Amino acid sequence: MADISANFLGIKSPNPYWLASAPPTDKKINVLRAFEAGWGGVVWKTLGSQVKNVSSRYSAVNFNGARVMGFNNIELISDRPLDINLKEIKEVLKEFPDRAMIVSLMADNDKQSWHELIKKVEDTGAHGFELNFGCPHGMTERGMGAAVGQDPEIAKMVVEWVMEAAHIPVITKLTPNVHSVVPTGKAVVQAGTNALSLINTIQSVTGIDLDTFVPNPYVAGKSVFGGYCGPAVKPIALKFLATISQNEITNKVPISGIGGISTWKDAVEFMLLGASNVQVCTAAMKHGFRIIEDLCEGLNNYMDEKGFKTIYDFIGRSVPTLTHWEDLDINYHHVANINQNKCIHCGLCYIACEDTSHQSISITKGNPYNTYAIKEEECVGCNLCQLMCPVTDCITMVEHRVAPEYLNWKDFQAQGLPLNDH
């Protein structure tokens, strides 16, 4: 069996799966259940000044019969008294000393408040901090959360305050509510943060009640922008993660990947783009803590199949494959191929190509069904037909190079080749 244990900043855990800072990590009873189920670690729900939450707090986007494709919340940091949280953190650590215990923090915007909160949390024996620079609602109005993460200079200042007082590793959690996470990422790395985590939730409106005309979630006839997460945000999270992994300053520190991770395959994708571990929330809220069994088993089996001994054998492997558009090989080409033995004659490929793409599929009408074939000379290899086909491997994309040599757009222009002759 492969070794799926993780060592993040010297913080060891039996697997790379942590529960993200959120309702599932808000109290002792939840965290004990998570550890009993097998989770490698938790990031305790954000601690800071006392807050009061509203009701209701959650909404979701469903798609094509599936519940909670995207999840939205307007919940603030922990609304439980700080001393109770600190007491429970200490108690959990005594019961599960082999699991990672990270505590999310969001202190008031002054050095003394951060130093005092850090000292209190360190006294629990926690293994590390995660600085919440990402909460996109409620706390931003107080100049906290995403209001810090959106300003690299402020973020740098706060991290410098933290590093003055912290004696355990510090992870800085970045907000995706920016054009790029790199400027803030660079600023906090230069300020001394030991690691980065991303992404936090994305500001959103998930839907509107067509009878009350109020967006969800509903609070006495009003609503606000919430934080969006769940499977729908995974592609955005992977993009932001890749930009951090590609940057020569931000990739010097470990990265904890967050955003829509629901399966072991999702986790592997995050690690291939540079994450040293991953954090999960929505999937646990939807399926319960025992989802960790599938996450670990799937990762184990994948690593055995590929011959990977540890997770560090493949972390970051996909980063070099992401390049600039101008460097792509324009002599490389695909042509679609329809396997007539697998085709169910639904016509979805034909409709998609004929109405919205390149009219590259022919139709032969017949009885009892129509048949479809690729017009190879017209096919541009866009993948649309394959994506629309409901039958696995019925439509495949076959390599069909225009020319054997590599040619990118910059060289193409430099050679002065005419577009219509290429």
Q: Are 17 and 47 in contact (CB under 8 A)?
A: no
Q: Max alpha carbon distance in the chain (Å)?
A: 80
Tokens 């006294």: give the residue. 123
CB-neighbour burial class of residue 241 (10 A; exposed 0-12, middle 13-18, buried 19+): buried
Q: What length does the chain have?
A: 422
Are the C-beta atoms of residues 8 and 277 closer than 8 Å to each other? yes
Which of 196, 204, 42 lies closest to 133, judged by CA?
196
296 is catalytic: no
- Residue of 135, 229, 296, 389 marked active site: 135
In order, the DSSP letters of 357-417 are S---EEEE--SS--EEEE-TTT-----HHHHH-SSTTTEEEEE--SSSS---HHHHHHTT-
Burial 137-173 (b: 16+ CB within 10 A, else e): bbbbeeebbbbbbbbbebbbbbbbbbeebbebbbbbb
Residues recognised as catalytic: 135
